[in-house]
Amino acid sequence: MLQKNRIIVGIVVAMGLIALGLFNPSHPSVLAQQPTGAIATVTGTPPGPVITVDQSIPVIHVYAGPGSFDYPSIGVLLGNETAPALGRADGREDWIMVRYPGVPNAIGWVYGPYVKLSPGALLPLVEVPATPTPFSTPTIDPTLEEAFIGQQTPTRLPTFTPPAPLDLPLFTETTSSTPTNIPTGLLILSLGLFGFLGAVISYLRGR
């Protein structure tokens, strides 16, 4: 039994000596080879053209197409807010198509003079979308219209009555009783002479 224990101790000591012979503190342990090249980093795709709302304008409307009269408003953008720019309307280059989430196709249109485009951005021309058709055409109930507006009573046009004919007086030419062979001056002179004689007679009678 004692001899067996000595053999075990000898084996352990021999293994320890072998291990000490293999381990040399003066030589550092060699690690696995490390790559010497640059490690690639994951970066996002560079942003494309963007529009920025003019900060002097509190809010602008986003429309379903390039026009504030032909297309409905689908949202708003606040002052200094940005949105990706996608293109310009063909024939209406003042209108810019932008990415606007939350609406059909996530596309909206803004009026160019209200926004600023990122420097050096070149936008392609985009075909103008069709004008939306209204869901229903408003009509007026004729009965309701008649109740509030009423029917206008046609008025007869005034009739023209010709005036009665004018009764013009007729003047007849009168003939003078004075003989045409006696001069008018002579008659006046005779009447003046008779008057003078009458005055003389009246004066003489008065005396």
* Short-list 107, 114, 136, 6, CA closest to 51: 114
- Is the Cβ–Cβ distance between 21 and 15 less than 8 Å? no
**Beta pairing class for 82-89 and 125-126:** parallel
Does some domain include residue 88? yes
- Among 45-54, 58-67, 179-188, top mean pLDDT goes to 58-67
Does some domain include residue 26? no
Q: How far apart are CA 55 and CA 22, in angstroms?
A: 75
In tens, the pLDDT along 54-109 reads 999 999 999 999 998 889 999 999 999 999 999 999 999 999 999 999 998 899 99
* Short-list 130, 127, 113, CA closest to 70: 130
Q: Which domain holds residue 107?
A: 50-118
Assign residue 104 the CATH number of its domain.
Answer: 2.30.30.40
Q: Can you give the pTM of this predicted structure? A: 0.45
In tens, the pLDDT along 145-166 reads 666 665 666 677 777 788 888 8
Number of domains in the chain: 1
